[in-house]
A and B are shown apart, each in its own frame.
Chain A
């Protein structure tokens, strides 16, 4: 049993793990009882489990929990709140992007990282940044419009 300290959404959390290879996803959901990220594939193929680690979007289903100790972990709920929304979240609501919303962690957290490093991306740059994310409801075009809207508000 190993003791670990994680920094999640601005809070320091102490946890015990019995398997150092356990993916971060299960720590967040099972140990810390967070509702996002979500399990989509466990293979790093879809993005539903995305969180940011030190500002970079990573797939928590294939990220060992022991690799992120001492780093800043941000989940969708930690990115912004209804009172203090991140501009990507505001744009997502204004464009009414989602249908089921299960995939949303990957889209918003990856788009937020994109705007951090490239505040005014072209359509091609947005598509390149988001091309490894999945959505089965067909919200891709709306997501593209939302990122452009957020970029205009920067």
Chain B
């Protein structure tokens, strides 16, 4: 567990002298590093040592204030640091997500692991290299500009034998040198250094497909995850949730678990849990415990009537993302107006492992072991819940189940901390399967409405797209406040819901345009199983399903090929290239949709395209789909994804990230919908929340990486998946002339849509 990091560091420090003498092969003056200071300065944004240090043996340690949710970021970060500081890739160790050792760089968020955290460490690695050359100059009796670095050894350009290693210069000690920090933390943290970064033609490590470092531990079952933390005296806990949303415990029959060895009830205000020494006994106690609950009538609309509810619900906040010209004026001038409506369901993070966390709260201090994407924020949340100063809570992030946004990990971490404080012992909480689907914060459902006005030539002169939905931060995605977690709701912390949604600024340009969003009130304001937050690609599928389907709808209405139509309104070269390259690679035949040659076929084939720009990532996805008219079943024959992320750190890992997320996005497009009745979420397991299995995956996925080494790196962890539902829907339209207007595309729903025509 990462705490060994501290121990090993201390162990290294005490043995520094001996270690260096034994390693040293250079002159006597280099027998022990004398540069820098012996103790690491406080971990603040303006200290170089907060980002990079050198171990006694010359290993470069990079302190990454983010986490790797399973996409191999640790490998990419090591490559970026190794490149700039000039050591072998194997000589970089990455420390992630420990609030005592690393700065708060925001945890995982918005796929900026490389573009934000990685670039920051790259800059500080370059600065460390500059300082190390500066330290070497007097020792070698040469000017800094006569020196260079090869694999962690500074040497004369003219004579490689005049050399001194990083280990000899500063190994085991600290730079104690300042960098220019903007004074902010989390995703806003920025740092500048005096030295330029390497140019792409100098790269030796960036751009190479180094194998991922985390895989062997996973494949051989040796990687310790948060689930595997075992502390002396640790209790296992299970939370007790009501069967009607909003209900709180009124009476608890402790005698109902008297036969379960060591089982005990913990009841604090409205928070209810059972604990036991053995995990199985905690599970049994949770099953057996008899509780009477308060009368609660949440009056949920039910998932079948949810979109009707959204349509009718009052708007509590409207946001205009972009407006140009006057849509009303444009529509007035139009000779024809096209309108389209698209519905997206509620979806769950539903991680393969329900949330798990361990907390040890004793003596006015807390340590939390968590695999939340936001360990620093989770520590702040725990501090508020427990009434501790923020600096008294240490968060140690560990690998765990994949999370896909603001899932239930932060809730479990808070539960563990509350229970540990109450019991004075370490507590491990693991949620059960029903909690992992029914009680995680949800990705919002949406009703999207598009309107397009055409002039006599068929040109789009007015375009409006409004997405109406729940707030995507009803529960804040950063989970840094007590009110952002279930435990806070149950312990009476006042709610502070945010009203934010936003929609991506589309790249298309029209004479008159408006992109906006309307937020409606939450269905239940407290401890709601349907509270809404970020689900992977929060600006993606719910909105792009509609906007990219509608783009296709307008193309069809003007009898224009869908690729040509998009290129007509995209002006920026990188936007256009993504669309053009995806179409070329697919072998796109130009013609308007739908095909007219398959009307009598039971099985019809079609292709569809969808495009987006997200931050500085440009992606187009072509899907080819086989439609079985009699059953409504869709076969996903082929995906072609053109992907421009700017500078690529590790091409193979990038391809894997895109490939896996397209499969994940397919699951959300084809199957996933949280079901609920008037009282409660009824999706409680994998039968009631069906997801994709291997027998339904896309038959072929082809990824074309667009190479732009000169462009700043953007993100890739979630950008492609948002295109999946529109690309499939557009392919179904091409095949059949029937427009799918609601996700997921289950056979029943597709069949019903086909029969309506």
Contacts and interface: CB of A to CB of B under 8 A. Distances in A.
Interface of A: 18-19, 22-23, 26, 29-30, 33, 35-36, 38-43, 45-46, 48, 75-77, 80-82, 85, 89, 92-93, 96-105, 108, 127-128, 130-144
Contact of B220 (A89, A96, A134, A143): A89
Contacts of A132: 693
Contacts of A136: 350-352, 401-402, 404, 664, 667, 691
A131 B664 CA distance: 16
A142 B283 contact: no
Contacts of B652: 96
B222 interface: yes
Contacts of A97: 215
B685 A41 contact: yes
A88 to B, nearest CB: 9
B224 interface: yes
Interface stretch (B149-157, B191-199, B655-663): B655-663
Output the residue of A40, A43, A101, A144 with the most chain B CB within 10 A: A101
Contacts of A77: 220-222
Contact of B693 (A22, A105, A108, A131): A131
Contacts of B202: none
B695 A127 contact: yes
Nearest to A123: B699
Interface of B: 69-72, 211-212, 214-216, 218-225, 227-228, 230, 261, 278-281, 283-284, 350-354, 399-404, 430, 432-433, 652-653, 656-657, 659-667, 685-687, 691-695, 697-698, 701
Contacts of B667: 136, 138
Contacts of B227: 35, 38-39
A143 B230 CA distance: 31
A93 B221 contact: no
A24 to B, nearest CB: 11
A83 B610 CA distance: 46
A96 B215 contact: yes
A143 B693 CA distance: 12
Nearest to B660: A138
5 contacts: A42-B433, A132-B693, A136-B404, A137-B402, A138-B692
B352 A103 contact: yes
Contacts, number: 176
A39 B354 contact: yes
Given A26-B280, A36-B221, A76-B220, A99 B691 contact: no
Contacts of A80: 220
Contacts of B656: 96, 99, 142
Output the residue of A89, A99, A102, A139 with the most chain B CB within 10 A: A99
B69 A100 contact: yes
B659 A40 contact: no
Contact of A100 (B399, B653, B665): B399
A28 B373 CA distance: 28
Contacts of B691: 134, 136
Given A35-B221, A138-B663, A139-B663, A30 B278 contact: yes
Output the residue of A35, A75, A128 with the most chain B CB within 10 A: A35
Contact of B352 (A92, A102, A130): A102
Given A23-B280, A40-B352, A99-B70, A18 B261 contact: yes
B693 A19 contact: no
B664 A133 contact: no
- Of all A-B residue pairs in the complex, the 6 with the closest CB atoms, nearest first, are A138-B663, A101-B218, A100-B70, A100-B402, A77-B221, A138-B664
B660 A99 contact: yes
A47 to B, nearest CB: 9
Nearest to B236: A30
